Chain A
C-alpha cells in the first residue's frame, strides 16, 4: 500500500446505519484528510459486492431484521473474510460487532451464524436494555485514553480465548456479561457496543486505525479542542448518572 492513501469501505449503510454510524466514517475521513492522506471512501450497499482491497472496513449498528439480512448477505459474499485474510482492518459497532462473531440471536429468536472474524458469541440479555453513557478503560496494549460512549442494546457477548476485551467499564454495561468487559479485538478486527458515534467521542480510535493501516507509529497532531470538550462533558455525565 502507498503511504499516503487510504481506502475506507463502509459496509452496508442501507442495513447497518441506524445509530448515526455514518459518524465514524466521517470522523475517520476527516482525520485522514487533516493528515494529508488521500482517502477513497467506498459505500457498499447490501446488493453490491464487498471489495477485498480496502484498508479499513467500518460496519455499524442496526435493527434486528436488517442485522439478520446483513449477516446472510455478508456470509454469501465472503468478501469481508477475504479482506481480513489480506490484512485489512475492521472496526464494528453493536449489531455489526455481533455479526463479526461466531453467532448471535436473530430477529426470529434463532441462532444466526456470523462471520467468525472475532472469537465472540452473542446472545440476547434477559434483563433491561442497556441504555446510557459509558466510561471505560481501553486495553493498555492499545495505548488510548479512556473510552466514552453511549450504549443502546440488549446483547450479551462472551469472549473466546483469542479475543481480548477492547475495554473494561467503569460506568455502564458494555458486553453485558457482568464481568466488566466492553467490546473485543484481535490483531486487526475490533468490535464495540459504543455508539455516540464512538469515534466522535474518541477520535484516537480513528487515529489508531489509520496508524495500523499505514503501519506507522505516530500521526501529526490535529486540533482536538472540540473533541476534548465533548469528552470531558460526557465522561462527567457517565460518572454522575441521572
Chain B
C-alpha cells in the first residue's frame, strides 16, 4: 500500500482498508479472490477512490471484445522493463475489480488496466489514462449486451477530447470509428479475421467494401487509416520501418496481434520494441488460457473462445487433424443465455478432427455439428471426453463458464 496510501485522504484510506477486510472475509468463505466484493465495499465508502488511486500512476487502459486479458498481461510485462506495474491481471474488469487491483498496488509506477467494454468511457474519465489500447469489437452476449455499433458510438463520444494516446486497430472499422474522435491516435494494423459486424459503415450506414486487407465505405469515404505499426506474418513492423521477430510462447495469430499492439503501447512509454517483446516471451498462459495441463494421463491444451470472432481465431491456432478436439459450451449468465451465436461459428473448419462435445448446451452444439455434416460424439463430462479421445494432444475449446468448469475439474 505504501506508494498509494501516502497521498490518500483519511476517508480513502478507510475505504481501502474496509475493502481489503471485505475481500479477506470473502476469500476465507471460499468465494474466490474477493477482489470484486472488496472493491465494491471500498467504492461505497469513497466513490472517488478509483480516481484517487490512479492519481500517482501512469495508467494504460485496455478494452476489446476479445484479447483484453492477454493484452493487459503483455503490456504489463513490457512496462515492467521501465518500472513497477499494478494490474487487474485476473480479468476483474469492472470498476469494483479495477479499484481493488489498484488498491493492492504497492509502489507501482504504472497501472495497466483491463476494462469491460461497457465501462470504458466512465473509467477513462475517472483515471485520466496516459494510453488506451482498443483491439476489436464484435458481437458478444447479445441477450444483454449493447448493440456492437452502439458500443463503438459510446466509445467515440466518451473518448472525444481525451488526453490519452489511443493505440487502435486500423483493421477493425468499428474500432477506427470509436477512436477517430480522439486527437492523438497511433494506428496499428493488427488484423481482424472476423468481419461480419462491420459490413455497414459505422458512420453513414453505406455498404463497406473490403478488397484484400483494405476497407472503405463507398458512400461517405470513411476508410482504413494508414497504420504506423503493423503485424506482418511473424514480425512487428515499427514506425521506423524496422521488423522485430515475435517468439511468443502464446500461440496463434491473435496473440501476435496482441503483442504488436502491446509493443506500440510500450513504445509510448519509451520501452523499445525489442525490450518489450522479449519480456512478453515469458508469458506462458493467462488466467489458465493457453495452458497445457496433464489430465487423466493426457495432455490437454485449454483454449477460451467466447463468441464467433474468438472461435474463428482459435480454430486458426489449433493443431491440425488428427488432433482430437473437445468443444464445451454453456449458456449461463456470464456467457449470455442465447446460443444462436453458435451458428455464426465456422465449425466446418474442424473437418477431419475427432470431435467431442461437452457442457450444459452440448445438444445445441450437436445439432450445429450435425448440420455442418461433421462426425462427433456427445459426452456427459470432460473426463469421458478425454478418455474417449484418440491419441495426441487434445485441444479443448470452451466458452466462459464452460472453461471455468474445466479448469476446476482438471485442477488448473
> A residues bordering B, Cβ < 8 Å?
13-15, 17-23, 26-27, 30, 45-47, 63-66, 69, 131-132, 150, 152, 195-197, 200-201, 226-227, 229-230, 233
Contact = CB atoms under 8 A, between A and B. Distances in A.
Interface residues of B, number: 31
A233 B143 CA distance: 20
A46 B207 contact: yes
A201 B199 CA distance: 28
A3 B26 CA distance: 67
Interface in B91-112: none
A65 B343 contact: no
Interface in B107-155: 139, 142-144, 147-150
B338 to A, nearest CB: 5
Given A14-B199, A63-B149, A22 B343 contact: yes
Contacts of A227: 367, 370
Contact of A230 (B150, B200, B207, B366): B366
A242 to B, nearest CB: 9
B200 A20 contact: no
Contacts of B199: 14-15, 45
A63 B153 CA distance: 14
A161 to B, nearest CB: 33
B363 interface: yes
A23 B149 contact: no
Given A64-B147, A66-B205, 12 more contacts: A18-B139, A19-B340, A20-B339, A20-B343, A23-B343, A30-B373, A63-B147, A63-B150, A150-B340, A195-B340, A196-B340, A230-B367
Contacts, number: 90
A228 to B, nearest CB: 10
Chain A binding surface, main DSSP class: mixed
B371 A152 contact: no
Given A15-B200, A152-B338, A200-B371, A22 B207 contact: no
A229 B366 contact: yes
Interface string B55-67: 0000000000000
Contacts of B200: 14-15, 46, 65-66, 69
Nearest to B332: A242
Q: Select the residue from B200, B205, B344 with max chain A CB neighbours within 10 A.
A: B200
A226 B338 contact: no
B272 to A, nearest CB: 42
Q: Select the residue from A15, A21, A226 with max chain B CB neighbours within 10 A.
A: A226
Nearest to B373: A30
